[in-house]
Structure 1
């Protein structure tokens, strides 16, 4: 079984039911199935064959859902890409991922025009219509050098075959490659098989008791694995309805939950904080919700309790990572939850806390969290050494420090070394440091995460420069040219020198202590 086949089964059971609602328009499961087949058959006509790689550079929209399932049905491997990445970041992923076709908003055509020389293997650019806006610039696409590679998404649907049957898929075939930030500064492509994604979506759906009556607020970014499994694939397993939201704002969430009587909301702690702090919010605004789930970053206990007390809804915190498709733990719904905990094993997944020798530790001792199950990735794309370091004897070594209590509840003690989580997005210091080191005036740089009331953490840089006339604003502007918005430093502090040990290694701990003393 795989996601594509399971969706076809859902269509047979719930064909006339809304699969998703977007901008006030309902699309039934039967209509979705037809569009998926049309897109898949058109991909086949373009020469996209089983095993070829298709990138999706889109925000939350019906385009994304149809592209994802259409590419999977055609036997292709999907590579979701954050559309707010810079040209350098997108080009790296498309090149490293050997992408043959990319689905993009027509708004991004000038961006892809600039990247053409960096993407020699990209054969097809499939464009989706961006809604008209006052700041959208009209361009003559016939004058673009990439014009010959362009295909229109709507035309592909109109000419596609609604009865298309794709190739037979093996459960060990790679379905999706998710690029995660790497400690080396270069993203790593986690290869998730059809078995990985299907098993985790099914187990998550069962664990959270998702059913055909549920209406899921799908506002988390669809290109992110949290949304992909919890708020997209899992709901479609059992005939639930997705309420697709293009972008998060407290006002829109409260209005949509009330208008459509949504039953499940999935978000990161930052979203819950904004909802709780929204001055127009009333306790009854979320009364239709039976459950909220949180992931992507640690949920402060005070925030969890405050949200539940105000809105009278269960907020269940879980844990996952891209390499595990992603869910491994969730706080249970049928017995007491423990604030501050990431919960217990979900079905078919085993978590353990081990020492440096890989030996399981007794309760309440801190060690590395490792994971085993049908959801664990096949490996990193074209990175055998990284794969061997992360996957050992069938176990995924997460790099997170954790402990387990006597009742089997897990607690994250510390995150992957030096990683910063900004509003649920992972930022590795090395990635930001590499950019700043490329600035001609920068001598040394160290990047740390600092507390932020709105986003959980923010990026702070300590920099040593050659020329004292260099300003923080200048360096931030430089970062804006090379980094996604959430990776850009919120503050830059200039130092005469960075603290180091006897071997010359920069001592991050000394800088962290400096932050704590302030």
Structure 2
């Protein structure tokens, strides 16, 4: 069984039930499944074959949902990309990911000509919009998404899709500066959606608020795939808005809300937020980064709901732990093993550590990725003996609950998004007037953390100069919000920059 097969099965079981609601427009499971098949047929008729890579550069929308399932049904490999990335960032992913087709926002069409000139392997660009005009730029065909889901009589070629076949490549920022593509198989994704859904007791009665970005693996598995294979209904929000979350929760009697800690903070602080809006919510789910215990308690008290915190990473499809619903929830814990997934805490040699001891969290199960795309050496370092070494420090108590003690050494988490300092530093070093640069995370009341840059320059620069430059080369959430100019960066005897010293300086 895979995700698209299960969607068809669900559509036969619940043909007239709402699969999703977007901007108050309801679409049934049969309608969704038909649109997915038509899109898959259109991809095939345009020459997209099994194993070809299809990029989704879309925000939360029906187009993302149909494009995702349609590409999988056509036997293609999906590469979701954050649409707010800069052209440089998108270009790297399209090139490294060997993309053959792109599904994108109409607003991004000005980028198409540049992309197709630099990336001649892209044969098709399907963009959102209502027009029907077809164009060809540098041998790349441009078609509107609307025409791709019209019933043109096409059929989906019979595809023999094996469980181990590649389904999705999720790019995650790497400590080497360039993003790494985590290769997830059909079984990785289906098993994790199924196991997570069972653990959280998701059923056809659930109505799930989809405010997390759909291109992010947290949303993809927990909020999109798990409810759809269970016959639930998605309330798709184009973007996160406390007012809109409360509106749809009340109007459609939502039963599940999932978000990162930043979202919970904004919801809690929203002046018009009232408990009655969440009267039908049976569970709130938190992930992406650690939820402050004080906020967890305040939120639960104000809205009379339960928050279940979990843990995951792109390389694990992503969920490995969740606080169980049938036992006490432990504040500050990421919970226990979900079904069919095993977590353990190990030392530097990979040996399991006793209860209560801090070590690296390692994960094993059908959800663990096949490896990093075109990066066999990185794969060998990360997956050893079938175990995925997460790089996160954790401990486990005597009841099997895990706790994240610290995260990857230098990573900054801004509103649930991972920002690796090296990637930001690489951009800073490219500026002709910057001699040295180092980036650290600093506390931020709204987004959990923010990026602060320490810079040594050749000549006088202003913070505004740096921020403008970064805004041209990095997604907004990766950009420094604080810039400090110093004469020299602290280093050890080998010349390595000491970020730890900079963090101490920030906290002094």
Question: What residue in structure 2 maps to residue 509 of structure 1?
Answer: 500
- Summarize deviations over 1:343-389 as a string: whole Å, max 9, x none: 00000000000000100000111100000000000000000000001
2: CA distance, partners of 1:162 / 1:102: 20
Q: Is the 8 A contact 1:113 1:144 kept in 2?
A: no
The answer (yes or no) to whether the contact 2:123–2:140 under 8 Å persists in 1 is no
| Deviation (angstroms), 1:82 | 0.4
Structure 1 residues 312, 305: closer, same or farther in 2, change over 3 A? same
| Partner in structure 2 of residue 155 of structure 1 | 147
Whole-angstrom distance in 1 between the partners of 2:33 and 2:157: 11
- Structure 2 partner of 1:275: 267
> Partner of 1:472 in structure 2?
463
Does the alignment pair 1:442 with 2:428?
no
Q: Which residue number in structure 1 is paired with residue 26 of structure 2? A: 26
Give deviations 1:221-270, integer Å, cap 9, x for gaps.
Answer: 00000000000000001100000000011111111111111000010000
**Matched position secondary structure for 1:457:** strand
2:415 counterpart of 1:423: yes
State yes or no: 1:460 paired with 2:448.
Answer: no
Partner SS, residue 450 of structure 1: strand
Does residue 289 of the first structure (1) align with residue 302 of the second (2)? no
Taking the aligned partners of 1:405 and 1:298, their CA distance within structure 2 comes to: 17
- 2: CA distance between counterparts of 1:142 and 1:162? 18
SS of corresponding position for 1:168 = coil
Residue 61 of structure 1 and its aligned partner are, at CA, apart by 0.5
Q: Of 167, 171, 176, which residue of structure 2 is paired with 1:175?
A: 167
1:494 aligns with 2:485: yes
State the alpha-carbon separation in 2 of the partners of residues 191 and 130 from structure 1: 33
1:513 positional shift = 1.1
CA gap of 1:113–1:7, structure 2 versus 1, over 3 A, is same
1:97-496 correspondence runs (5 A): 97-129=97-129, 145=137, 148-161=140-153, 164=156, 166-467=158-459, 469-496=460-487
d(CA) in 1 for partners of 2:256, 2:205: 11
For 2:14, the equivalent position in structure 1 comes to: 14
What is the TM-score when the length of structure 2 is the normalising length? 0.98
Aligned residues: 508
| CA apart distance, 1:165 | 5.4
How far apart, in 1, do the equivalents of 2:484 and 2:491 lie? Answer: 17
Q: Report if the CA contact (8 A) 2:212-2:259 is conserved.
A: yes
Q: Whole-Å Cα distance in 1 between the matches of residues 411 and 138 of structure 2?
A: 38
Q: In the alignment, what sits opposite 1:135? A: none
Which sits farther off after the overlay, 303-312 or 117-126? 117-126
Q: Which moved more, 1:156-165 or 1:82-91?
A: 156-165
Paired with 2:442 and 2:130, the residues of 1 have a C-alpha distance of 36
Residue 75 (structure 2) aligns with: 75
TM-score, length basis structure 1: 0.96
Distance in 2 between the 1:450 and 1:58 partners? 30
Task: From the superposition, tell whether residues 217 and 299 of structure 1 become closer, same or farther in structure 2 (CA, over 3 Å).
Answer: same
Superimposed CA distance per residue, residues 184-214 of structure 1 (whole angstroms, 9 cap, x where no aligned partner): 1100000000000000000011011111111
The separation in 2 between residues aligned to 1:99 and 1:147, in whole angstroms, is 15
Q: In 2 relative to 1, CA 169–302 (structure 1 residues): closer, same or farther, beyond 3 Å?
A: same
Cα 1:144–1:194 change in 2 (3 A) is closer
Relative distance call for 1:161 and 1:68 in structure 2 (3 A) is farther
Moved more, 360-369 or 122-131: 122-131
Shift of 1:156: 1.7
CA distance in 2, matches of 1:88, 1:455: 25
Contact persistence 1:344–1:408 (CA under 8 A): yes
Please, what is the CA RMSD of the aligned residues? 1.5
Structure 2 gap ranges (5+): none
Deviation sequence 1:149-184 (CA, Å, 0-9, x none): 201211121144476454020000000000000111
Taking a change above 3 Å as real, the CA distance of residues 149 and 27 of structure 1, as seen in their structure-2 partners, is same
* Alpha-carbon distance, 1:112 to partner: 2.1
> How much does 1:129 deviate?
1.4
- Aligned-partner SS, 1:107: helix
Query: Contact (CA 8 Å) 1:106, 1:130: kept in 2 or not?
Result: no
